[in-house]
């Protein structure tokens, strides 16, 4: 019913009502013919047999073998554990990239931007926020506030950088270093934005192409090389 819009629900209900009877017998061919089922087919001949899509095959195997069902459950749990481990590693990598390069960036703001402005001790955070948003706009195309307003359904106090990919955070990390150097050189904010935006586009494209090649099958990757 989920995947087959032509599934004959009325015929299915008829089979379901009879399924508990000792006299109930149905072949795969009859099931396909009467209900319009997909995902299964019967092939006659020497190398024939009954074939099913993997979801159906897993369910069939589970119904006739408790051991198979246990293996299936344990394998699912193992894969989920591996997935969670990868997510933890990715999260730690994100935080590492953000934290270390943020120190370089904020140091440049502290030593080169604040002395030239009228920010007080209570308002100097605005300078840091402005510089952070300069990078956000150069890379993501929006400020942190604009992103939060457009993504209110996500976690409370969500941050655009917490939801960025490793590739994007790598570029952001590089932009922080570049911006720190541009600040030291005395470039205006407009000049720095133009330079940073160009760097962001170029580096994002390079990493995106590299990721596409990495995801190709081995044979295709070798041909690409």
* Both tokens assigned to 11: 């015929």
- φ, ψ of residue 8 to 5 degrees: the values are -90, 95
Task: Measure the CA–CA gap between 31 and 220, rounded to whole angstroms.
Answer: 41
The pLDDT score that the predictor gives to residue 202 is 92
Residue with more model confidence, 219 or 183: 183
* Both tokens assigned to 97: 């990239």
- φ, ψ of residue 205 to 5 degrees: the values are -65, -45
* 201 pLDDT higher than 90: yes
Average of pLDDT values for 185-189? 89
**Tens-digit pLDDT profile for residues 29-73:** 999 999 999 999 898 888 888 999 999 999 999 989 989 999 999
Question: Confidence band (pLDDT; 50, 70, 90) for 101?
Answer: low
* 195 pLDDT higher than 90: yes
Contact indicator for 40, 56 with CB cutoff of 8 Å = yes
Average of pLDDT values for 65-87? 86
Task: Measure the CA–CA gap between 212 and 167, rounded to whole angstroms.
Answer: 12
Burial 177-208 (b: 16+ CB within 10 A, else e): ebbbebbeeebeeeebbebbbebbeebbeebe
Task: Measure the CA–CA gap between 147 and 159, rounded to whole angstroms.
Answer: 8
Task: Measure the CA–CA gap between 23 and 25, rounded to whole angstroms.
Answer: 6
Task: Measure the CA–CA gap between 92 and 87, rounded to whole angstroms.
Answer: 9
Average of pLDDT values for 151-167? 76
Q: What is the mean pLDDT of the chain?
A: 83
The pLDDT score that the predictor gives to residue 210 is 78
**Tens-digit pLDDT profile for residues 106-145:** 888 888 888 877 777 777 767 888 888 899 999 999 988 8
Could you state, in order of their start, the residue ranges of all structural domains in the chain? 9-64, 83-224
Average of pLDDT values for 205-217? 74
Alpha-helical regions (H) of the chain = 9-18, 28-35, 54-64, 66-108, 125-140, 144-150, 166-184, 189-215, 218-224
């Amino acid at each position: 019913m989920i995947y087959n819009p032509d599934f004959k629900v009325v015929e299915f209900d008829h089979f379901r009502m009879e399924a508990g009877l000792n006299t109930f017998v149905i072949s795969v061919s009859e099931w396909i013919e009467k209900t319009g089922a997909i995902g299964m087919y019967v092939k006659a001949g020497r190398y024939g047999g009954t074939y099913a899509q993997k979801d159906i095959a897993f369910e069939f195997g589970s119904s006739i073998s408790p051991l198979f069902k246990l293996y299936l459950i344990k394998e699912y749990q193992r894969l989920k554990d591996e997935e969670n481990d990868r997510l933890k590693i990715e999260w730690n990598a994100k935080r590492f990239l953000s934290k270390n390069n943020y120190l370089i960036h904020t140091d440049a703001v502290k030593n080169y931007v604040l002395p030239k402005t009228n920010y007080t001790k209570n308002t100097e955070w605005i300078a840091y926020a402005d510089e952070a948003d300069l990078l956000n706009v150069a890379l993501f195309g929006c400020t942190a506030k604009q992103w939060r307003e457009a993504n209110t359904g996500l976690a409370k106090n969500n941050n655009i950088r917490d939801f960025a990919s490793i590739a994007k955070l790598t570029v952001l990390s590089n932009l922080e270093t570049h911006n720190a150097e541009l600040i030291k050189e005395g470039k205006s904010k407009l000049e720095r934005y133009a330079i940073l935006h160009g760097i962001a586009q170029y580096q994002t494209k390079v990493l995106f192409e590299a990721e596409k090649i990495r995801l190709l099958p081995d044979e295709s990757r070798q041909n690409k090389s």
